[in-house]
Amino acid sequence: MSEVVQLSSAEKALFRENLVKFLDAEVEPDYEKWEKAEIWPRELWNKLGENGFLCVDLPSEYGGFDASFELSCVVVEEISRLGYGALASAVSVHSDIVAPYILHLGTEQQKLHWLPKMASGECVGAIGMTEPGAGSDLQGMKTSAVKDGDEYVVNGQKTFITNGQHCDVIVLAVKTDPTQGAKGMTLFTVDAQLAGFQRGRNLEKMGLHSGDTSELFFQDMRVPADQALGGEGKGFANLMNELPRERLILGVGCVAAAEGMLDSTIEYTLERKAFGEPISRFQNTRYVLADMKTEIELNKALVEKYVARYINDELTPAEASMCKLAASEMQGRVADKCVQIFGGYGYMREYKISRAYVDARIQRIYGGTSEIMKELISRSLVGR
């Protein structure tokens, strides 16, 4: 596998600048229309890939740039900062969850088959974990895979699946031995063209409207045994090993989204007048802005620390949980305070701050709820 290339500050700045230009040209003009339609066109994935903004930290032999995780953070940061919460969520699932699962756990055949297509945007990735009766408690899942010769027969359903309408490959968690608890879970790479797979409806959500979130159904779907990802019965352990990156990248997006909200709110306070002067001159406004800036900087420092630990292969699950917990809770507080400063205008959809507010709410739920994060952190301190 090729060595990781450490980009200079100037190279990262140029990449960031090009990404912002792409988003201004290809996303901003139509994003509100996609929000109302509750989905964006499939071609957007191709454009993201063609311009080099997907799976950027993959090795070059699989279509990436040999870059460090920091470059993937830049992608999520800028999409989040500009207020495209649904797109940030979808891209992070594709590039920072599905692709690393396949890279770290897959056979060479699986990696060569899927990863270059994911980097180019030809293939969109989704991860199938959550079920109607199993969310944060993954051991409660019911979707089963029964061995039949050199295939597994899969039956069951998943819900709340990001990229569910557009996905071409699904990293699917199933029970291969229901009697073994966590040790009976296996991951598979599933081609969305397989017979027996069916997409359900595109779910209507409080926020992240343009991101497709779906139910997925599997009825006697036959998956080749060689598509097991990371070994039979090792699915739960593999999920636990990969979750820290997912929670870390969520923290990265939370901080950047909060920065974007604060920037737009500061601009508003300089223009909006009350009692004949800009509201930025009122002590209450100034103190609220100061509090938000301080909270953001504290969380940014934590994120930067943990990104460095992840790159050095030192990040623990508890640390990733702390990052996700702190940053997502902070984003919710910042969103609420920003809407309050905007007043009645902040409640209007024509102002992006209202979209940022509803988009922020999911951050304390997906990727593990705040309550689950606290449980995991406490276990690292005092045990079960």
Instruction: Tokens 């999911």: give the residue.
Output: 362
How far is the C-alpha of 300 from the C-alpha of 254, rounded, in Å?
Answer: 9
How far is the C-alpha of 322 from the C-alpha of 374, rounded, in Å?
Answer: 8
Question: Residue 91: CB partners within 8 Å, gap ≥ 6?
Answer: 48, 53, 54, 75, 76, 79
Pairing verdict, β 228-229 and 213-224: unpaired
Q: Does 246 qualify as catalytic in the annotation?
A: yes
CB 157 within 8 A of CB 131: yes
Q: Which of 78, 246, 295, 319 is catalytic?
A: 246
Pairing verdict, β 169-175 and 125-128: parallel
| Residue 191 DSSP code | E
Instruction: Tokens 């994060």: give the residue.
Output: 373
Length of the chain as a residue count = 384
How far is the C-alpha of 49 from the C-alpha of 47, rounded, in Å?
Answer: 5
How far is the C-alpha of 145 from the C-alpha of 137, rounded, in Å?
Answer: 19
Q: Which two tokens stand for residue 135?
A: 């969310």
CB 325 within 8 A of CB 371: no
How far is the C-alpha of 98 from the C-alpha of 125, rounded, in Å?
Answer: 6
| Residue 8 DSSP code | -
Cite the DSSP H helix spans in the chain. 9-26, 31-37, 43-50, 69-81, 85-93, 99-105, 108-120, 235-271, 283-311, 317-342, 352-360, 370-382
Which amino acid would we find at residue 367? G
Residues designated as active site: 246
